[in-house]
Amino acid sequence: MRLSRYFLPVLKENPADAQIVSHRLMLRAGMIKQASAGIYSWLPLGLKVLRNIERIVHEEQAKAGHIPVLMPTVQSADLWRESGRYDDYGEEMLRISDRHGHDMLYGPTNEEQITDIFRAHVHSYKDLPLTLYQIQWKFRDERRPRFGVMRGREFLMKDGYNFDIDYDSAMHAYNRHMVAYLRTYERMGLKAIPMRADSGPIGGEDTHEFLVLADTGESEVFYDSDILDLNFGDRVVDFDDVSACAEVVTEWTTPYARTDETHDEALYNDIPEARRKSSRGIEVGQIFYFGTKYSDSMGASVVDGEQNKVPVHMGSHGIGVSRLLGAIIEASHDDNGIIWPEGVTPFHCGIVNLRQGDEATDGACGALYEALTAAGLEPLYDDRNERAGAKFATMDLIGLPWRITVGPRGLKNGVVELTSRRTGESQELSIEAAVEAVVKVYENH
């Protein structure tokens, strides 16, 4: 993409209404525009990152054997009356009535909707286990929408639902989700720690939240610092292998890690003092096992091997897809702007032309652009007639992890400059070597 033809409405000034750095940077980098409280339009740069996050979520769900569907945002209140949650959900639910006076709602979550699909089509244990998921917009009329996409009213969620014949099988689904989520967050450059939590209006006893540690997080968390040393890395887990998944879960859930809702002072005090940590965290996901709560109330049962009708065991599993943009920026920025992890960056590499209109410089930038594109990468070429300082400031603000700077002086010696946004380190390389270096960085993303 050539910047002169793109739509990147960056703001020079800090927006007054943004209290935390991720919100400020998303507005300044022209990623989102507030439409009304807690509701945002996604501008091109923001949309690119959102789509990258979605892609990683889809890829990791596919590995776990989970199947994508897409359910409507607007749901019938009758379904929620069946489960009893229509009245329970309270003021967070946006209630709508259609022209016929039917009560509708904008879904804050989809347990009822998916249970309705399940009961219409699945009747035998032979069709289990089954996990369906979607990435779809939700609406929660939060009392205090704030911090931009972090606590929105309309927000994008990955929500998955497992259907299993019994408790053991459902716990395997729970574990499968935990394993898939660990890898998902790591690919986004995040350390998200599973912590024992409270299930709130979703229900059930078994639940973990995934938290990214950050001073601006809304949750208070307590943990054993040993958990920070755990890395999922590139290990390949067979998602059908019950004990392999359980082992990963044991590894991550053995060190103490809890949100304030489930914090246990006595257990916490058993941790050696130097490892006892408390801080703030951003909740980027949550997994639940709630047994037969919805299948009992909504009549979702299957025939088992002995021809008995049994209610299915269920859980649900969420990732805050739009919130993740805020969480990633909170975890990865500096005074000059965002620093995107390679896994989610909106463009792979920036190209800065220091002398727009100079034939050799324009030609070298064009050649770089072609070579990067031919290698399957997406560069953002700043071909505007701007001062070098302004171009660098824009690149730093929008946070592309790699920048290639091209100017007449370097070209005389046959070199361009490749700079890492994260370390600020630069190397002088030939055009071919610079392209090769960038291609190599992205080999594993």
- If the CB atoms of residues 108 and 350 are measured against ligand P5A, the closer one turns out to be 108
| Listed ranges 310-318, 339-347, 421-429, 436-444: which one lies at the site for ligand P5A (CB under 6 A) | 310-318
Residues in the chain: 445
Distance between CA atoms of residues 112 and 318, nearest Å: 15
Asked if 318 interacts with ligand P5A (CB under 6 A), we say yes
Minimum distance between the CB of residue 165 and ligand P5A, rounded to whole angstroms? 21
Q: Which is nearer to ligand P5A, 196 or 384 (CB)?
A: 196
Residues 6+ apart with CB under 8 A from 328: 188, 189, 190, 340, 341, 344
Residues 119, 183, 258, 317: which binds ligand P5A (CB under 6 A)? 317
Q: How many CB atoms lie within 10 A of CB 201?
A: 13
Which residues between 225 and 284 bind ligand P5A (CB under 6 A)?
283-284
Of 48 and 138, the one with the shorter C-beta distance to ligand P5A is 138
183 sits near ligand P5A (criterion: CB under 6 A): no
Question: Using the rule CB under 6 A, is 170 a contact of ligand P5A?
Answer: no
Rounded to the nearest whole angstrom, what is the least distance from the CB of residue 125 to ligand P5A in the complex?
Answer: 24
Among 176, 323, 333, 348, binds ligand P5A (CB under 6 A): 323
For 163, 192, 193, 304, the CA distances from 59, given in Å and listed in that order, are 21, 18, 21, 32
Under the binding rule (CB under 6 A), the answer on residue 155 touching ligand P5A is yes
Among residues 284 and 416, whose Cβ is nearest to ligand P5A? 284
**Total of chain residues touching ligand P5A, rule CB under 6 A:** 20
Q: Which long-range contacts (CB under 8 A, 24 or more apart) does 27-35 make?
A: 27/148, 28/337, 28/397, 29/337, 29/338, 29/397, 29/398, 29/399, 30/398, 31/325, 32/148, 32/149
Asked if residue 293 binds ligand P5A (CB under 6 A), the reply is no
Q: Phi and psi dihedrals of 203, rounded to 5?
A: 100, 170
3-class secondary-structure state, position 356: coil
Show the site string, 105-134: x = touches ligand P5A by CB under 6 A, - = not: ----x-------------------------
Give the residue, chosen from 203, 217, 285, 399, that forms a contact with ligand P5A under the rule CB under 6 A: 285
Distances (CA, A) of 4 to 12, 356, 380: 18, 12, 10
Under the rule (CB under 6 A), what is the footprint of ligand P5A?
Answer: 109, 140, 142, 151-152, 155, 157, 159, 202, 283-286, 288, 316-318, 320, 322-323
